[in-house]
Amino acid sequence: MANVFEVLRRDHDEVRHLLAEIEAGAPLVGVSESERLVVRKRQVDRLITEESKHEALEEEYFWPAVRELVSGGRELADKAIRQERRAKFLLEDLIGYDPSKLRYEEMLDCFIDEAREHFAFEEEQVWPELRLVLTPERAEELGTKIDRARRMAPTRPHPHTPPHPGLLKATSPFVGTADRIRDLVSGRGRH
């Protein structure tokens, strides 16, 4: 069993690893330009999937706890959700964008910087506050809920869906299923 901080840390580590991989670039030696672009698109698809799941799970479970328990939690959650929403719009744009365009790489650079800033905000300004008020039992319970919901969490960003936890909880399994079907049909994430 992992508590909420361990579960979220695992996600952050995974996404940070993908960001570093993307920054390092797709292989250039011995591959054609079209092969390089396929690899690039796959790297970014994986990032979109992991980041979408992570932020959706936070919106459903983590931010409601911060709002409820942390003094000043509402402001912290509002700020983080604004950052997450911006990230979702960027990812949504990346899904349909041609990876051979310069703008694609510019959008990626922008996403990478903002994602790191967002994770640092959560880890340095939000987690310490929540640690002070969350009992070990509740931290475990929250971690378990997030881990359980991950299986059906959305794999696409959905920037137009209002980030209301109740709505997300009610619709997430359906959205998650629909995302997986779209991923399967489009070949996205098939690697």
Query: Interface residues with Fe ion (CB under 5 A)?
Result: 58, 84, 122
- Residue number with CB closer to Fe ion (58 or 60): 58
- Cβ closest to Fe ion, residue 10 vs residue 42: 10
> Smallest Cα–Cα separation from 86: which of 24, 159, 145?
159
Q: Are the beta carbons of 52 and 154 closer than 8 angstroms?
A: yes
Radius of gyration in angstroms for the set of CA atoms belonging to the chain, rounded to a whole number: 17
Instruction: Give the nearest distance from C-beta 119 to Fe ion in angstroms.
Output: 6
Q: Of 37 and 81, which has the nearer Cβ to Fe ion?
A: 81
Distance CA 130, CA 177 (A): 31
Instruction: Name the phi and psi angles at 21, rounded to 5.
Output: -65, -45
- Cβ at position 118, least distance to Fe ion in Å: 6
CB 12 → Fe ion: shortest distance, Å? 6
CB 1 to Fe ion: min, Å: 20
Distance CA 146, CA 57 (A): 6
Based on CB atoms, which residue is closest to Fe ion, 56 or 108?
56
Output the smallest distance, CB 61 to Fe ion, in A: 11
Question: Would you say 94 and 44 are in contact if contact means Cβ atoms under 8 Å apart?
Answer: yes
Closer CB to Fe ion, residue 86 or residue 180?
A: 86
- The least distance separating Fe ion from the CB of residue 144, rounded to whole angstroms, comes to 17
- Tokens 């936070």 sit on residue: 58
Question: Among 140, 114, 98, 97, which residue's Cα sits nearest to residue 55?
Answer: 114
Burial 137-159 (b: 16+ CB within 10 A, else e): eebbbbbebbbebeebbbbbbbb
Token digits for 170? 């009610």
- Shorter beta-carbon distance to Fe ion: residue 58 or 179: 58
